[in-house]
Amino acid sequence: MSQKDTSDRFNQDQTVIRVVNLVKSFGGRRVLDGVNLEVRRGETMVIMGGSGCGKSTLLRHMIGSLFPDEGYVELFGQNLNELDDKSLDSLRLRFGILFQSGALYNSMTVGENVALPLREHTNLDEDTIQIMVKIKLEQVGLRYAENLMPSEISGGMKKRAGLARAIALDPEILFYDEPSAGLDPVTSAEIDQLIMDLSRKLGVTSVVVTHEMDSAFRIADRMAMLDAGKMLKIGPRSEFEALRDGPETGDEQLDLIRQFIRGDSDGPITRRRSSAGFMEDVLGVAED
């Protein structure tokens, strides 16, 4: 666990992220409709939900790149709505983000990409930076790729490189948006293993947005199911496993989650689609 914030009021088992009644509309469409979520220190929280249900939007609120119409996000006890740019920037040094594409700079080598946050946010000398880069690349199994350009590496390697950059500053929280999307099953399992290793070895708190169920069940301590801008259920992985492996419950919401995680072609989701209005049908969100 990081030593950086032993002075604040958060210790082990305590909440590091608190999302409270988050509401966000785009062009009159309510994409987040009163979302609540707490993430505890050291855990891996997986947020699942169908395409367009608001997962990335929720994540962007958690990292302070979007701000809500109503409600707030607290990171390490600090309300992001109330922070000035300077405080937000220094808070950003305490978390890392792995974007869907890896988001590498194509004009720089893999090593230079990883060095970037160290150059921008620390006063380390060049020799130390070079050593740090090697350590970070080693941690993601990419030591041999230091001098390659992003165009010369595969999608899975780009994810690893993005992850090496995300952990460059030893973050306390790692946010992942669809870390295994577009990867083959084995590479995807390797990325999952890496997420778990980082969480265990570095004690990082992880928030992972995904709709890949194999991956979700592999890595999650707790899971949260988002649907049309609302949290349907938050609970330990075992509760979702029981739902997945058990019979239909007769409860509309639970059966909706069950259908989603089983990938069944028949259930509340498909019934809703065939009876929903145009907006909900096409866009997956309720009209405001």
Residue 111 engages ligand ATP in binding (rule: CB under 6 A): no
- Collapsing DSSP to helix, strand or coil, 92 comes out as helix
Instruction: Tell me whether residue 50 or residue 141 sits nearer to ligand ATP (CB atom).
Output: 50
The residue whose two tokens read 């699942």 is 48
- Long-range own/partner contacts, residues 235-238 (CB < 8 A, 24 or more apart): none
Interface residue with ligand ATP, options 56, 101, 130, 187 (CB under 6 A): 56
Given a contact cutoff of 8 angstroms between Cβ atoms, the answer to whether 285 and 228 are in contact is: yes
First to last CA, the chain: 43
Region from 44-52, 68-76, 153-161, 234-242 binding ligand ATP, contact rule CB under 6 A: 44-52
Contacted by 205, from Mg ion, ligand ATP, none: CB < 5 to 8 Å by type: none
Tokens standing for 257?
Answer: 């989650």
Measured at the CA of 190, the angle between CA 184 and CA 191, to 5 degrees, comes to: 90
Contacted by 51, from Mg ion, ligand ATP, none: CB < 5 to 8 Å by type: ligand ATP
Region from 50-58, 107-115, 168-176, 259-267 binding ligand ATP, contact rule CB under 6 A: 50-58
**In Å, what is the CA distance from 207 to each residue of 63, 93, 234?**
11, 16, 13
Interface residue with ligand ATP, options 49, 64, 162, 171 (CB under 6 A): 49
List binders of ligand ATP among 158-217 (CB under 6 A). 211
Contacted by 285, from ligand ATP, Mg ion, none: CB < 5 to 8 Å by type: ligand ATP
Instruction: Tell me whether residue 176 or residue 240 sits nearer to Mg ion (CB atom).
Output: 176
Instruction: Tell me whether residue 25 or residue 56 sits nearer to Mg ion (CB atom).
Output: 56
- Long-range own/partner contacts, residues 52-56 (CB < 8 A, 24 or more apart): 52/283, 52/284, 52/285, 53/226, 53/227, 53/228, 53/229, 53/284, 53/285, 54/24, 54/226, 54/228, 54/229, 54/285, 55/177, 55/209, 55/211, 55/226, 56/177, 56/209
Contacted by 53, from Mg ion, ligand ATP, none: CB < 5 to 8 Å by type: ligand ATP
Interface residue with Mg ion, options 2, 15, 56, 78 (CB under 5 A): 56
Closest CA to 209 of 181, 239, 178, 235: 178
Q: How far apart are alpha carbons 87 and 83 in whole angstroms?
A: 6
Instruction: Tell me whether residue 111 or residue 229 sits nearer to ligand ATP (CB atom).
Output: 229
Contacted by 52, from Mg ion, ligand ATP, none: CB < 5 to 8 Å by type: ligand ATP
Contacted by 109, from ligand ATP, Mg ion, none: CB < 5 to 8 Å by type: none
Residues lying near Mg ion in the complex (CB under 5 A)? 56
The site for ligand ATP (CB under 6 A) is made up of 26, 31, 49, 51-57, 211, 283, 285
